[in-house]
Amino acid sequence: MTMDSPEEHRMIREELGRFLARLGGVEAAMRQSEGQAEGEALWQALAGELMFTGIGLPEAQGGLGADMRALSIALRELGRVLCPVPFLSTVGLVGQTLAAAPEGGVRDAALARIAGEGARAAMALAAPLGADPVPGVTAQADGDGFVLTGAVAAVADLAQADLVLVPARLGDDVALFLLSSGDLAGAVTDRSPADATRPVGRLSLDGLSVAGAARVGDGAALAAGLARARLCAAAEMAGAARGAFDITRAYIAERKQFGRRIDSYQAIKHRVADLFVALNAVDALIDAAAAAWDEGDAMAAPDSLAALAAALEVLERAASESIQLHGGVGMTWEYSPHLFHKRALAMRADCGAPEAQVTALGRALLAGDLPVLPDAPEGDPLRREVANWMQNALTGRFAELRHRGGAGDGDALTDLRKDWEAELAKGGWVGLDLPKDLGGRALTIAEQVAFHEEYARAGGPGRMGHIGEGLMAPTLAAFGTDAQKARHLPGILDGTVFWAQGYSEPGAGSDLAALRTRARQDPETGDWLVTGQKTWTSLAHVSDWIFVLARAEEGSTGRDGLIFLMMPLDQPGIDIRPIRQINGGSEFNEVFFDGARASADDVLGAPGEGWKIAMALLGFERGISTLGQQMAFAQELQAITALARDSADPHAFAPALGRAWQGLRAMRHGAMRILEGLASGQNDAAALGYKYEWSNWHRSLGELAMQVLGAEGAVRSEDPEIARLQSLALFVRAETIYGGTNEIQLNIIAERGLGMPREPRGAA
């Protein structure tokens, strides 16, 4: 039997969740911290009742298959309640390392004992799991056997282990020795652990003679096993972070202060929402790394190291926030936050500092050993078609468009980019997601992802038609009448009609419901006359139409009484004034309406339904094109890495480069997971955090660009690549503001995603 399908993964999560819930969740860990022996019965149930000790181990030795996705799920569930069992040590460390070792009698028998009998195991690691292995024991050949000498001061789950895997220095190599508890009489000393849910012992070997058969592997097996074990540790820590997050959410929903639930205070909500985004990013890294191991992808090891560093940090954050938001009781023994804090301290000691791990990733980037741009999957005919078309099309007069029109460069070459939109339309690359009966291509999500990634990989310019194709077209498809679709979709789909967005207003900021622009119906014609002002309207000065959210009912406030209008920009009563930005560009505009007219036929939906339609449109904004956006981010990171490589001290930038790569991988895999969920009809709350995540990441990338440029960053450069990075560094400051400020985004995540109380609203 194997467990490598989504249904079987779901079964593992649910079955283990029910089992742990029957034990009272984290109560077992609480009892263990009080000195009660909880672990033995729990372990026997996991091994005997559930037979879960075989997850992630080879079928040939009685395991359930080397399925890292299943193993990561089990570890997260166990971590969520700090289950006091040696599952990580036994299956995650020893099991994965033995599985990477050559087949042999001792090795095979040990795996069979773990999978079938629930034998417990420990690994005597002298160096942190997240670092290169440095054995604390030396081995010398002695006839047909070996003599082991050395000590490892703190070995998790050692005293209860039936099997102990000891890495030892043997000449210029590393050898792995598998010993039984009987071999180690007198060599194991119990120590008092900081985290009572994870016993710790000292291993002292003073000339211990072992048989030659005890040698089960070498340094290559150890390195391969630890690469997988890093993911296992990350999964357990991510689960623990979720556990701390869950108990904190439950507490702040019940606790009242100054007459209010404390989770109604914005300061509390923002901290919780920010942590929620970080938790989702770690889960995305873990899921991606697990899938990569199962599929034999070369990115499995670096993704696992990135996940380990991220999980360490998020567990420390979640544990610290749990204590802080519990207030005084968080510092008491009777409440559980202290258990998560102790687990975080113990795991940092076991795994090492996250800074060292992201530095290792940054050094690999600088050395060219770690790709920034994801490789294009082989054998995909659509990707080949897109790549070939882009190579042929981005030539001649379009050649100068490569990599133009991105962040901070949005008003560049607008006439040529309009011509490019028409060229895209001729090639069949507009309206990819629309139904065929509306003129689209009805491509699947995977096919749309392929297009957007290959478009960005080829250096395709920023899309002049994005607002029309990406926002207006799907909104028309969802809410428009047949006549409206027939009137407006053809111009969008042939790349000749361009749209602007009329949402933001000077007095409303990110509070869209506070808008004041008025629309009143002309009693003679039925048309709507619009008066007011919109701001931050991207490319309005070179657009043909604008969709406008306005207040249609006198005296209405908030979300009530709104209307969604489509209006031509070239008409009396509309005045467009560019806004000069801090980078010198003028991509954004103010648009003034003074009795401007919207035809009665250009009302989308009914008067009063404006808010519903506006929110649906914003949902389309966070769609599949984000994968292309991330490809552009990767190209920016690649350019910054190249500059750092040529600097006087490249390694000084390694930590920041590693963090940038880690964050980019988390966003990519998180977006893929969200899109897969949307395709299956799941409305994942994690999707609400995507804008907050990418805008903060991109802002940090702009700061990194200036750090790498050093003194040259203060001089206007004639080099187009450097000038682009300088403009990027200035422009990205806006990304945490437009489309909803960070503060608004955190409110949305907290209230809509996590169900926390809404902020009180004043009068409009």
Hey, CA dihedral for 538, 541, 545, 548, is it positive or negative?
A: positive
- CA dist 391 and 401 (Å) reads 12
42: which 2 tokens? Answer: 């729990």
DSSP annotation of 461 reads: P
Q: Residue 611 in contact with residue 513, Cβ under 8 Å?
A: yes
The predicted structure's pLDDT at residue 692:
93
Query: 431 exposed, middle or buried (CB, 10 Å; 0-12, 13-18, 19+)?
Result: buried
Residue 139 φ then ψ, to 5°:
-125, 140
- CA dist 22 and 12 (Å) reads 15
Domains of the chain: 381-463+472-480 (1.10.540.10), 499-618 (2.40.110.10)
Residue 757 φ then ψ, to 5°:
-60, 145
Residue 152 φ then ψ, to 5°:
-125, 120
Amino acid in the structure at residue 717: S
Amino acid in the structure at residue 243: G
The predicted structure's pLDDT at residue 41:
87
Residue-wise DSSP of 500-517: EEE---TTTTT-GGG---
587: which 2 tokens? Answer: 């991509």
Instruction: With residue 225 as reference, give the H or E element that holds it.
Output: helix 219-254
> Residue 236: left if φ>0, alpha if ψ -120 to 50, beta else—which one?
alpha
Sorted by sequence, the CB contacts under 8 Å of residue 295 that are 6+ apart come out as: none
The reported pTM is 0.90
Q: Residue 500 in contact with residue 591, Cβ under 8 Å?
A: yes
- What is each CA distance from 283 to 69, 254, 279, 369, in whole angstroms? 12, 27, 6, 25
What is the per-residue burial (b if ≥16 Cβ within 10 Å, else e) of 231-268? bbbbbbbbbbbbbbbbbbbebbeebeeeeeebbbbeeb
- CA dist 143 and 420 (Å) reads 76
Q: Residue 56 in contact with residue 75, Cβ under 8 Å?
A: no
- CA dist 603 and 563 (Å) reads 7
Instruction: With residue 254 as reference, give the H or E element that holds it.
Output: helix 219-254
- CA dist 53 and 44 (Å) reads 10
- CA dist 300 and 229 (Å) reads 12
Sorted by sequence, the CB contacts under 8 Å of residue 374 that are 6+ apart come out as: 453, 631, 634, 668
Q: How many CB atoms lie within 10 A of CB 696?
A: 18
Q: How many CB atoms lie within 10 A of CB 377?
A: 10
Hey, CA dihedral for 393, 399, 405, 406, is it positive or negative?
A: positive
The separation between CA 365 and the C-alpha centre of its own chain, rounded to angstroms, equals: 20
- CA dist 660 and 702 (Å) reads 11
The segments of the chain whose pLDDT lies below 70 read 1-4, 509-510, 621-627, 678-683, 761-764
Helices (H) and strands (E) in the chain, counts: 24, 18
Q: How many CB atoms lie within 10 A of CB 182?
A: 7
Residue 736 φ then ψ, to 5°:
-85, 10
- CA dist 484 and 51 (Å) reads 60
The 3-state DSSP class for residue 35 equals coil
The 3-state DSSP class for residue 59 equals helix
Place of tokens 């002002």: 533
Q: Residue 29 in contact with residue 90, Cβ under 8 Å?
A: no
Q: Residue 343 in contact with residue 88, Cβ under 8 Å?
A: no
Place of tokens 């964050």: 663
Place of tokens 């999980």: 311
Hey, CA dihedral for 19, 22, 25, 28, is it positive or negative?
A: negative
Q: Which of 120, 127, 137, 311 is nearest to 233 (CA)?
A: 311
The separation between CA 339 and the C-alpha centre of its own chain, rounded to angstroms, equals: 26
Query: 320 exposed, middle or buried (CB, 10 Å; 0-12, 13-18, 19+)?
Result: middle
Q: Which of 225, 235, 304 is nearest to 66 (CA)?
A: 225
Catalytic site includes residue 621: yes
- CA dist 439 and 430 (Å) reads 9
552: which 2 tokens? Answer: 């249609």
Amino acid in the structure at residue 33: S
- CA dist 69 and 47 (Å) reads 19
The predicted structure's pLDDT at residue 683:
66
650: which 2 tokens? Answer: 């490249």
- CA dist 132 and 384 (Å) reads 39
Q: Residue 467 in contact with residue 620, Cβ under 8 Å?
A: no
Q: Please tell me which residue in 385, 609, 621, 759 is annotated as part of the active site.
A: 621
- CA dist 538 and 218 (Å) reads 60
- CA dist 394 and 386 (Å) reads 12
